[in-house]
Amino acid sequence: MANVTLSAGVRANLLSLQSTADMMQTTQNRLATGNKVNSALDNPISFFTSQSLQSRAGDLNSLLDSMSNGIQTIQAANNGLTSITSTVQSMQSTLNQALQDSNWQSSSYSIDAATIGTGSVKNLTFSGGAVTGSINVAVNSISTPGTQSAVTAASNYLAPSVAAAASYEGGTYTVLGAGETYTFKVNGQDISLDATTGNNLTNAKNAIQNQLDARFGTGAFTVGNNAAANGIKITGNATGTNDVVISNQAAAGGAATTAGLGFGTTTQTALGTPASSYKFTVNGDAVTVAAGTGLNAAVTSINTQLSAVNSKFQAVANAGKLEIREITAQGTALTLGGPDASTVFGGTLTNTGTATSTAAVQTVDQLVAAINGNGSLTGKVKASNDNGSLRITNLSLADLTVVGASSSQVNGGTGGSNTQTIVGNTVRKGLVQQFNTLRDQLDKFAGDASYNGINLLGGDKLKLTLNETGSSAINIQAKDANGNTLTISSTALGINSAANSDFDSNTSINAILGTLTGALSTLRSQGSSFGSNLSAVQNRQTFTKSMINTLQTGADKLVLADTNEEGANLLALQTRRSLSTTALSMASQADQAVLQLFQ
């Protein structure tokens, strides 16, 4: 083919046809694929930029699934919180219903005065129900002379000791001569005398005092004469806390005397005596007698302290001895205790007197007052006058046992026929079971609020990655007010299983209501936190979808072809090809004209 010679016209038309064919092929490829850039050869910048945008869009798209699962996990936890909140509100309704219920059981008894009599003390005894132990209420009184309970010290009263200073006296002081020194220790600190400072007793005392003040502070020790006024006495402070410990060292220089300061040659110790006081209790009420307080002053001090606590007891001076006794004969047991009770009073520390009483059978009103005034029965048993009969009401869910009454009369007797039972409040008892059933359901709701193995109410943590690099993430977990991990359960919310005794009094029911109110506050706070997290994840999900769309649109704009434009191009190229073919034919005909010369 290289030896074929083409005319310039034919060659030009041939090249045009070849170029048109190439462009038609490119245009047809763009129409077939829909892309104007199909490889890096078409447009490297657009191709690789589009690939990068598409890859990021794909990475973000893969995160949408985990976001969707996260949203469902939060919604599952919210479903659990909603059900738990409703359960707690139902528990509140149960408690309010119990508060409104007054279905306390009671029985009425007339007073059998003849059987009770006044020959011996007889009682109504209450046990069971909300009563702790057995509580006796006398149904009659026996005439007995009253005696005061009293405890008298075994020996004469001695005032608590006052502080004594520590003191140590030396013997005759020997004057130091020229070249002589004497050194000793006071509580480990060196004290020195020489021929100048120790040339006489006065100078020696002054020198020792100055050195003690410098080492221990002014007033810690006092230096004076000994009892014979010819030696040195060292005394600690007045509180008895500065002991005097002296250790001698040998005299040195000159003709040192062996007598020295007269403290001897071994360690000498004098201990101060601290102040003391008496501390004891009178039926639990604390009493203190200060150091140095004599008997009469001690009586006054003790009575001032006892009157401040409205005690039934007083102190008196009894023939030089201290005595504690009842102010009036009420038969109140007296017990002395505390660290110094045995020291002050000896071995006898308890005594019980007898109250004055009159022989009589209690009336209904008196029994009502006695039962209602007994602190051990308050809020547990209620008495009232029922048209001349004693009505006893059991303020409990448990059965109350009453000994000392037949089926219709209070007689103070014992035995089977004189033991009565007043049943408990069955309505409140049923509400206790209802409360505990709801509490059990609360824990089941919390345990079932999981999604895909994650239970946010059980303390699990949900981590959601929000961008393709992992640099943005959100951790979702139940937290308390202090930021600690919170497990939603009846125990964590402080809701304990209710016992029958918890519904005995309105006070205890109100206490449980207070706990439920706090639990609702915790649940609502946690619900708000989950709601905030859900909103954040949903906003991120919407943002991610928008970003994917933006990335894909940008990538498409870089590589997608305009089919309208490419169709118009193809039509133009087809026309050009037809024209080029015709031109080539015409050019060929011009070359054929030479053949006519040979015809």
The domain segmentation of the chain, as residue ranges, is 1-34+564-590, 59-101+429-551, 105-143+357-424, 150-159+276-352, 167-270
- The least confident of 304-308, 456-460, 551-555 is 551-555
Amino acid at 290: A
Task: Report percent pLDDT > 70 for the chain.
Answer: 86
Domain range 59-101+429-551, CATH class: mainly alpha
- If you average pLDDT over each of 253-262, 269-278, 380-389, which comes out highest? 380-389
Q: What is the pLDDT of residue 473?
A: 80
Q: Which residue has the higher pLDDT, 279 or 534?
A: 279
- Among 396, 391, 392, smallest CA distance to 505 is for 396
Are 422 and 399 a contacting pair, CB within 8 Å? yes
CA atoms within 13 A on the CB side of 95: 26
| Pairwise CA distance, residues 454 & 451, whole Å | 5
Are 200 and 231 a contacting pair, CB within 8 Å? no
Ordered strands of the 389-394 beta sheet: 381-386, 389-394, 105-111, 409-410
Q: Tell me what the mean pLDDT of segment 93-116 comes to.
A: 91
- Among 417, 413, 408, 370, smallest CA distance to 389 is for 408
Amino acid at 280: F
Instruction: Give alpha helix (H) positions in 101-200.
Output: 113-116
- The least confident of 182-196, 238-252, 301-315, 322-336 is 238-252
Q: Tell me what the mean pLDDT of segment 222-247 comes to.
A: 81
- Confidence at 34, pLDDT banded by 50, 70, 90: low
- The residues pairing with 315 across neighbouring beta strands, listed in sequence order, are 324
Q: Name the burial class of residue 428, with classes exposed (0-12), middle (13-18) and buried (19+) by CB atoms within 10 angstroms of its CB.
A: buried
Distances (CA, A) of 224 to 204, 233, 254: 10, 5, 27
Q: What is the pLDDT of residue 248?
A: 65
Q: Which helix (H) or strand (E) is 465 found in, with range?
A: strand 462-465
| Pairwise CA distance, residues 474 & 465, whole Å | 7
Q: What is the pLDDT of residue 150?
A: 93
Q: What is the pLDDT of residue 259?
A: 45
CA atoms within 13 A on the CB side of 191: 28
Domains 59-101+429-551 and 105-143+357-424 belong to one CATH topology: no
- Confidence at 103, pLDDT banded by 50, 70, 90: confident
- Confidence at 353, pLDDT banded by 50, 70, 90: confident
Give the phi and the psi of residue 495 in degrees, each rounded to 5. -95, 105
Assessment of whether the complete model's pTM goes beyond 0.75: no
- The residues pairing with 289 across neighbouring beta strands, listed in sequence order, are 278
Q: Name the burial class of residue 3, with classes exposed (0-12), middle (13-18) and buried (19+) by CB atoms within 10 angstroms of its CB.
A: exposed
| Pairwise CA distance, residues 352 & 339, whole Å | 22
Residue 256 has pLDDT above 50, yes or no: no
Residue 308 has pLDDT above 90, yes or no: yes
Domain 105-143+357-424 bears CATH identifier 2.60.40: yes
